[in-house]
Each structure stands twice: as structure tokens, then as C-alpha cells.
Structure 1
């Protein structure tokens, strides 16, 4: 194996190890114990303090005597308003060793308590994955749209939809075939994110979706599309996630035998 190949494998192993650490975080998605949809009627849930509701002024919690949340480092009691939460935003007030995620998804306000002792998280020992293989790395080009295109996609939760602004598309050749994928904005400025399925979906990889992060394009628009880093979204592990599904054009007809496989928890 050449030094270049050694570096390729080591870089992938570093990426994989970091990704598994994030999944196993004490307050990560595997720690979620319930998904609760809020309305104007105050509701109590067994895994979170307080009675929760929402309305035109945003999410409100009413804490009984003896109940407490820590918001931005400050303890709060009684009635507390979180205000109007932006779409896809989340707040994380603390309750003992747990956090109570307060969020908006698909236009709906929700809370998702996250407890480190949740068995899904406590028993997590990593995700099966294909061995890294350079054949699944393509050099492509990013083609921006004249204006971002609002793109509506389905969700892991039935009846829910997400709308993302797609800034452009990725064009590349893989297995001697040309492909185009709609790209969304990534977590870091300038980076891109792709949701896709392929012929392995539902066979060796999670059926609904996988995601791929792509570094910011070079000045000439060139990008590296490395399917070895195709990762599961939270819905691959838990039914308490609201993950988006890929747009129709991102359903690849070939078998991408790279990246993360179906989690052990779903086998």
C-alpha cells in the first residue's frame, strides 16, 4: 500500500471515529427518550419537568414548585417563555443530567428530552460500515443556481415536510456514469450537504436516506465527492427523529457500496 493509500485509510478512520463519538454523545440523538408535539394546551411528559405549550408568542413551560430548568446557565422556575423558535433551530435547557431540546421542525414546535442513560445511547458500540475504497471518490464540479431554489422534501415522520434552499448542484462521474445531485447548504459556511439513496438502500444501507458532507468548492468550482463518508442520519437509529428525505433527483440507480451501513440497532 502506498503512502497515499495509507493516508486515505487513516483519514477515513479518523472521520469514522469522530462520527461515532458524536453519535455516542451523552446528549446526542441516541439519548432522545420521546418526541412531543406541542399545541396551545399545556401538556406534561414523564421525561421532562413542567407543562409545555405553544402559541403565537412561542413555546412556554409552566414549572411546578420544586421543578427547575437551567437556561443559558441560569436556573428558572415558574413560568418561562422560550419565545418563537426559528425553523430547524433548537434550544437545550438542562434538567439535572438531561437536556430538554426545544425546537421547531416542519413548522411545528416540539420538545425532545435527551437522557444519557437511555438504553439506545448507553448500549451503542458503533455503526457497521464498508471498508474505505478509493473507487468511491469522484472529482466533480459544483454548479450554483442563479438563485437558491426552495426544495420541498418529505420527512421520516409521516405527514411532515421540510423546505430547504438548494444553492446548486454537484455534477460528477462515478463508475463510468455521469450523475447530478441537488445540494443543500452544509453546517459550516461554504460547505455543502447531499441527501441521497442508492441501490444498496434497504439492502445493506438504511432505506430512507444517507447524507454526504462536501467541502467548500475550490475557486474553479471543483469538489471532491467521497461516498466513503456517507453517513446515516439520526432516523436510521431512532424513530424519534424528523430527518428529511432526499429529493427525487438524488435517488442514484447504482449500488454505492461505501460509507455507513444499516445500524445494528435496526437489524
Structure 2
């Protein structure tokens, strides 16, 4: 293995761990609160929250303040109908994400002093090996293909659409994995024979760089990473589609945290 490859992999691992342990990353999330038409109060965010006629609303009590878009908010505030990107509000050194998942409004407060974040240690990985850097080819679909309904089920969000398949040789056989779009790159959710043994049971994810003009891609399983749900129950994660369940072990990339 070349020093250049190893150096780039170690640099990528450092960046990955920096993102994981960032002050407002998902290790700082202290709750996943689903909103209803009835006002609710939560321990880790100020105010009473509900879904009103105009969308998400909050009523802040005496001495309670949120900052939204750089402006302080007191009393009653209407956030409106939100999408999956949503908005953020801050209070003290914490922030709360207000968004929807599967069409259901939710709150996710993030506190930098959350014990889960403070106790985080680097994720164990398999040793990198060029045996897991595979040449492949992307076969685009004529049109995006529906894989499921965007619904929250037990905290998971079903995958929506696929844009094609990535083909490569693994364990002496041709394999294909369904891919989603990630900007110009491809995003692959997969499970394999290590899932639930040495790696997270629900599967892992992998980004494949933009295909070449002829569809050529490089599938580097050394860069397979865990889904956020491997670290905390306060996130929503997508299912790998059934076609992406490999019957062989992929002993590369991140292991169980």
C-alpha cells in the first residue's frame, strides 16, 4: 500500500472523527421530540411546543428566550410549516433543530456538554487494505426509481429514490448496489455479513465519487462509515434497500462504535 493512499486515509479518518465530535454534531443531540397538536414541554429545550394551524409553534414562558436568525424571540412564535432542512434556534450554548422527518415535525436539541459527546472515543475500523478498493461501473436508471415511502418507522426514514446501480467484482462474483444521488457523487447504503457481528446491525454507508464519462467509479470500502443511528437513538436513519444486502463479509471501514 502506498504512503500516499495511507496518508490520505488517515487524514480522512481525522476529519471524520472531528465531524463526529463537533460541538453541535449528532453526538450532542439530547433528544428526539415528535410534536403533536397538544402543547408539550421538554427538559432540554425552553418553551411549550405544538403543531398549530400554521405549522410549528412555541410559547416561551417568563425568562425564556430563543434566538432565531440572530433575533431574540419571546412569548409566542410561529415557525410555520417546515421541510426536512428546517430551521435552528439557539439558547445559551445550545441549539435546537426544528424540522420534519417523514412529514412529522420534530425537535432535536443539541448541547455541547452532552455526556455522549464528551465520552466519545475514535470509532474502531478494520485496517485499510487496497484489496477493498474496487474498480466499478455506474449504470444509471433512465428515471429515478421509487424505493419506498418517506415514513418514519421506529425512528427510521425509508429511502425514497435511486438513480442507478454500481457494479463491481467482490469475492469472485459480479455485484450490484443501488445508489442514490449525493450531489455529483453517489451515496450507497449497504449491509453485509459483518452487519450485527463486528459492524452496526442496520448497515453502513459509502460515498462514491462522481462517475467518469464512461461510468467508471472506484468503490473504496475502506471509507465505509456508520449511520448516525449507530451512535445515538436521537437520529433518523435510512434503510439499505433489499438489493444492497451483500451475502459476503465486507471487512473494511468502520466497525461498531
- Shorter-chain TM-score: what band? over 0.9
Quote the Cα distance in structure 1 between the aligned partners of 2:10 and 2:155.
37
Q: Deviations over 1:195-247 (max 9, x none)?
A: 01101111110111100011111111111110000001110011111111101
Q: SS where residue 101 of structure 1 aligns?
A: strand
Quote the Cα distance in structure 1 between the aligned partners of 2:149 and 2:177.
14
User: Number of residues paired by the alignment?
Assistant: 257
Whether the aligned pair in 2 keeps the contact of 1:229 and 1:260 (CA below 8 Å) is: yes
Q: Deviations over 1:174-208 (max 9, x none)?
A: 2321111111121xx21111101101111110111
TM-score after normalising by structure 1: 0.91
Q: SS where residue 16 of structure 1 aligns?
A: helix
In the other structure, the counterpart of 1:48 is 45
Quote the Cα distance in structure 1 between the aligned partners of 2:7 and 2:244.
29
What runs of 5+ residues in structure 2 fail to find an aligned partner?
none
Deviation of 1:93 (Å): 1.1
Quote the Cα distance in structure 2 between the aligned partners of 1:163 and 1:210.
14
Q: Match for 1:137 among 133, 154, 174?
A: 133
Q: SS where residue 238 of structure 1 aligns?
A: coil
Summarize the alignment of residues 20-59 of structure 1 with structure 2, pairs less than 5 Å apart.
20-59=17-56
The runs of at least 4 aligned residues of structure 1 exceeding 4 Å deviation read 153-157
Q: Does 1:80 align with 2:77?
A: yes
What runs of 5+ residues in structure 1 fail to find an aligned partner?
none
Deviation of 1:15 (Å): 0.9
Quote the Cα distance in structure 2 between the aligned partners of 1:60 and 1:211.
35
Quote the Cα distance in structure 2 between the aligned partners of 1:97 and 1:161.
29
Taking a change above 3 Å as real, the CA distance of residues 123 and 200 of structure 1, as seen in their structure-2 partners, is: same
Quote the Cα distance in structure 1 between the aligned partners of 2:231 and 2:178.
25
Whether the aligned pair in 2 keeps the contact of 1:143 and 1:171 (CA below 8 Å) is: yes
Q: For structure 1, which segment, 160-169 or 61-70, has the greater mean C-alpha deviation from structure 2 after superposition?
A: 160-169
Q: Does 1:63 align with 2:57?
A: no
